[in-house]
Amino acid sequence: MELEFLGTGAGVPAKHRNVSGLALKLLDERNAIWLFDCGEGTQMQILRTTIRPRKIEKIFISHLHGDHIFGLPGLLSSRSFQGGEEPVEIYGPVGLEDYVRTSLQVTKTRLAYSLKFIELSEGVIFKDKQFIVECMLLDHGIASYGFRVSEADHEGMLQVDKLATLDIPAGPIYGKIKQGQKVTLSDGRVIDGKDFVGSSKKGRIVTIFGDTRFMEKSSQFAKDSDVIVHESTFNKDEAKLARAYFHSTTQQAALIAKKAQAKKLMLTHISARYLAKEAKELEEEAKEIFPNTQIAKDFDSIDIPFS
């Protein structure tokens, strides 16, 4: 599981930051990529990565401001030209389907695959044996959502090498041992399956917030996250401006991560006013509250390890 930032800027593209786009790479888990927001130029950003658009399985759109959706019709079109044939599920607020289908219709664009739109409402929006995705309504003037992606726990691995040293041949018996059962071998030996199964691994949690004012309940939504991705459009001294424009400050994002007992905070949606030196200052002021904070840059990639 890996996060790759395709755009970390706020509002409009800048030379050093494109607008919002984030890929959750699940190549080992399901040979797929989930995309969160798709601002203008996202497909150009993808060209500078190893991401293959045909691997994009799901797209989650936090809200309908242009810096989060203007790149979506173009990406969907290019995915078709590049051999994408598998269906894509698109999760977003009411109005997103109209925007996408109208854009494709007006431009006479035909896709080689089907689109399925899921309108967001609070609660569980996707669930299978591997992942649960929940969403929460934020405070941004228009409908804006945060997403919590929870991975199922991984069962312990069967220690095949250990079984081999005891001359226990492979076969149906391995299934019983994997289940932790006590097994009697043909030579009379009794083994406990629990002794041959490694420790289970707790599933990882990633919480990705769309644009929002500071909300106390966000920390509960993001509880125990391995990584929180949160906007920080304003610095710590601009709380009044942040509230007026429906955004958050660096230290407000840090407070959410601290209360959530998260492991790592990634700050994004950075104003073009902040260049390299100023962006580092934003990071430092967030670290005053939550030390394991990092300001995301375009093309930053972070691995999310098991605990």
What are the phi and psi torsion angles at 106 (to 5°)? Answer: -65, -35
Is 67 among the catalytic positions?
yes
Q: First CA to last CA across the chain, in angstroms?
A: 13
Q: How far apart are CA 15 and CA 27, in angstroms?
A: 30
Distance (Å) of CA 164 to CA 169, 171, 174, 196, 227: 7, 12, 11, 11, 39
Q: Are 7 and 43 in contact (CB under 8 A)?
A: no
Q: What is the DSSP string of 239-274?
A: HHHHHHTT--BHHHHHHHHHHHT-S-EEEE-B-TT-
User: Of 37, 67, 226, 298, which one is the catalytic site residue?
Assistant: 67
Residues forming the active site: 67
